[in-house]
Amino acid sequence: MKVTRRDLLVWSAGAAAGLIVTPVPWKLLDDTSIWSQNWPWIPQPARVPVEMKQSSCTLCPNGCGLRVRMAAGWPVGVAGLSTHPVTRGALCPLGFAAHQLNWHPQRLRTVRHRGSNSSWSEAQRAFAKARAEGPIVIIDGYPGRAASSVLETFAQKQNGSYRVVEGPETRALKPYASWSGVPASALGYDLENAETVISFGAPMLDGWGAPGRFTRLWAERAAGRSDPQLRLIQIDSTLSRTAARSWQWISIRQGSESTLAAGLAAALLEQKLVPARGPIPAVSVDEAAMQTGMTADAIRELARTIVGRTPAVAIAADDNPSIAALNLLLGAVGTLGGIVRRSKDAVDHIAAGDAISSARAVLIDASVPWDFIHQTDAEVFRFAAWDGGSTKADWLLPVPGFLEELTDVPTAPALAVETYAVAPSLVKPASEVQSAAQFLATVEPSLIPAEKIIHTRCYNIFRALKGNVHGDEITPVAKFASAQKLEAQLWKGAVWVGEASPPGGIRCELKGWPAAPVLGAAENWSALWPAPVLPPLASKLYNESSLREAPDRRTV
């Protein structure tokens, strides 16, 4: 069964809305003996006292808060952490079942070289040879971690290139980055203060962003109300799950989102609903009506509705400069309830989808989606915890599995404020594994190890005296007596949340109305990447929950 990341996140939208407040997940998790009969590779949990630990899921950059039930040193159940400031108890099925992943039959336990068993020393020798012969490209699917810093530093020392895989939420922020010079990874949507959200096909209630974030806002401020505090206008060619639950669904022809954004801009200016700031769209309201399938009057009315309750912000499903230009016209960039700058320190990176030429070797971190396709003739060193099947990699290198490695959890994509958490190693790896960062540290001993970088980051948070630490209670950073005490809280599963940035800080220079984007092949592999393996509980949750969308659902 091929289940994609979007499928899993779709499910999590429902989980956030209701499932976590029912006993269903716990009931399912209690059925461990049944799981063990059906999937004999999952060991029976020992009959010992169960200990509860708090942490964060590191299987994707959303970093959901976890409650992990541990028995005899290994995890036997996972649930969402209700005190997590972003996900507030929501998880996707992969997270709910992550404790089963480490025993999956496709778990990588040995170094493989072109299909045969090899060893770490062979891999090190091959990598050292490649390094001596030419440039190295390093690809990271979860940038911003301490481990990412190790990968990037190595690439710099090597005169190589460090590239990142970005999700659709980050790519949708790219136009503001190119117009303002502020990296997309430093930007976010202040949805918590928005009153109108115009989604151009972004699955806001259907797998967009961190599980639980928007779905909670929707449940608290809008669901079931005829005049909600938060209006969600969903522009979609079909009755998607988000469209069906939104305040207003606007049906347009598939692929005409950019034209509608330009038409709305024309309608806003024509009716003097906004000041004429920035470039004028080349499309008239009538032309937009013809191309989108809406009437001109409907576009004008939609423009009035959008400014009827502000702050209003438009959200694109992916990189779409026309929709970003509409936000500029709406005054939604650098303002409360719009696009905000959450960080001053982030830097821009080259996208991993760009062609790799003249590299001697490519190192792919375990965080990169399994089906990432690299157009290269270079020798490929692929780090992974699970073997997802056919791959072009020359080397397959086993990494620590779920909760087997200390890592940090930087801000999830599209959040309006910075967050930071630490996921300590709770489980001892059963086989000889190394993360890409650990591997590079053996090759280049001058690299600062990720663990030390995590200490420094905790110390910097303490020294800056900003924000709060969200654990069982919320404690201002200024109240911590020492950096060690703050770090100890993070190691126990607490999450640091920074302060909201003051308005401003994003000055966009846009000379002409942007052309409609040409969507590249890269669109699919980060939005729709299939999980390399799926644990049985996740399959069951996905297949048997009524939250799975019926195939004919989107046909209207």
Figure out which of the listed residues 77, 211, 401, 532 binds ligand SF4, where binding follows CB under 6 A: 211
To 5 degrees, how large is the angle CA 216–CA 220–CA 225? 125
204 lies in the site for ligand SF4, by CB under 6 A: no
Residues 55-84 that bind ligand SF4 (CB under 6 A): 57, 59-60, 62-64
Q: Give the separation between CA 458 and CA 447, rounded to whole angstroms.
A: 19
Figure out which of the listed residues 86, 91, 306, 454 binds ligand SF4, where binding follows CB under 6 A: 91
Rounded to a whole number of angstroms, the minimum distance from the CB of residue 208 to ligand SF4 is 11
299 lies in the site for ligand SF4, by CB under 6 A: no
Closer CB to ligand SF4, 361 or 538, in the complex: 538
Q: Give the separation between CA 477 and CA 496, rounded to whole angstroms.
A: 8
Closer CB to ligand SF4, 95 or 535, in the complex: 95
Rounded to a whole number of angstroms, the minimum distance from the CB of residue 78 to ligand SF4 is 8
b vs e for 38-68, b when ≥16 Cβ sit within 10 Å of the residue's Cβ?
ebeebeebeeeeeeeebbbbbbbbbbbbbbb
* Furthest-apart CA atoms within the chain: distance in Å: 72
Over the window 214 to 253, marking each residue x when it contacts ligand SF4 by CB under 6 A and - when it does not, the resulting string is ----------------------------------------
Question: Token digits for 81?
Answer: 């952490």
Contacting residues for 172 by C-beta, under 8 A, at least 6 apart: 202, 315, 316, 317, 318, 319, 320, 323, 414
Residues 10-29 that bind ligand SF4 (CB under 6 A): 12
Closer CB to ligand SF4, 141 or 278, in the complex: 141
95 lies in the site for ligand SF4, by CB under 6 A: yes
- Identify the CA nearest to 224 among candidates 192, 249, 247, 248: 247
Grouping H, G, I as helix, E, B as strand and the rest as coil, residue 486 is: helix
The β-bridge partners of 496 are 420, 469
DSSP per residue, 3-16: -BHHHHHHHHHHHH
Over the window 448 to 487, marking each residue x when it contacts ligand SF4 by CB under 6 A and - when it does not, the resulting string is ----------------------------------------
Closer CB to ligand SF4, 88 or 231, in the complex: 88
Give me the residue whose beta carbon is nearest to ligand SF4. 95
Closer CB to ligand SF4, 93 or 338, in the complex: 93
Rounded to a whole number of angstroms, the minimum distance from the CB of residue 185 to ligand SF4 is 17
Q: Give the separation between CA 192 and CA 91, rounded to whole angstroms.
A: 20
- Identify the CA nearest to 299 among candidates 314, 281, 285: 285
- For ligand SF4, the binding residues (CB under 6 A) are 12, 57, 59-60, 62-64, 91-92, 94-95, 211
